[in-house]
Amino acid sequence: MLFWILALALSAVVAIALAAPLRRGPASTGTDPDMAFYRAQIAEIETDRARGLIGEEEAERARAEIGRRLLAADKDVRQAPAAGRGPMLPALLFGALVVIGGAMILYTDLGAPGLPDRPLAERLAEARELSAARPSQAQAEAVAPPLPVDAPEEYVEMVEKLRAAVPERPDDLTGWQLLARHEAALGDYAAAARAQERVIEIKGADAGFEDRMALVDRLVAAAGGIVTPESEALLRELRAARPDAAGPLYYLGLLQAQIERPDLAFRFWRRAIETGDPASPHVELARAQIGRAAQFAGVDYTPPAASGPTAEEVAAAQDMEPEARQEMIRGMVENLASRLAESGGPASDWARLIRALGVLGEATRAEAIWGEAQQVFAGDPALEEIRAAAQAAGVTR
Q: From first to last of the 397 residues of the chain, give the pLDDT tens digit.
A: 555 676 667 767 766 666 665 555 544 444 566 667 767 777 777 777 777 767 777 777 777 777 777 777 777 666 655 444 455 556 666 666 766 666 666 666 555 555 555 666 787 888 899 999 999 999 999 998 877 777 788 888 999 999 999 999 999 999 999 999 889 888 899 999 999 999 999 999 999 999 999 999 999 999 999 999 999 999 999 999 999 899 999 999 999 999 999 999 999 999 999 888 776 778 888 988 999 899 888 888 888 866 555 445 545 555 566 666 666 667 777 877 877 776 677 787 888 888 888 777 788 888 888 888 888 888 777 888 888 888 878 887 6
Domains of the chain are 2-110 (no CATH), 153-297 (1.25.40.10), 315-392 (no CATH)
- Which pLDDT score, from 0 to 100, does residue 122 have? 80
The dihedral through the CA atoms of 305, 308, 310, 311 has a sign that is negative
Residues 145, 135: Cα–Cα separation, whole Å: 15
How large is the angle between the packed helices 173-185 and 209-222, nearest 10 degrees? 40
- Which pLDDT score, from 0 to 100, does residue 29 have? 47
- Which pLDDT score, from 0 to 100, does residue 133 have? 93
- Which pLDDT score, from 0 to 100, does residue 28 have? 46
Query: Distance from CA of residue 366 to its chain's centroid?
Result: 35
Q: What is the pTM (predicted TM-score) of this model?
A: 0.55
- Which pLDDT score, from 0 to 100, does residue 18 have? 61
Range 270-273 contact pairs with CB under 8 angstroms and sequence separation of 24 or more: 270/301, 270/303, 271/244, 272/246, 273/303, 273/304
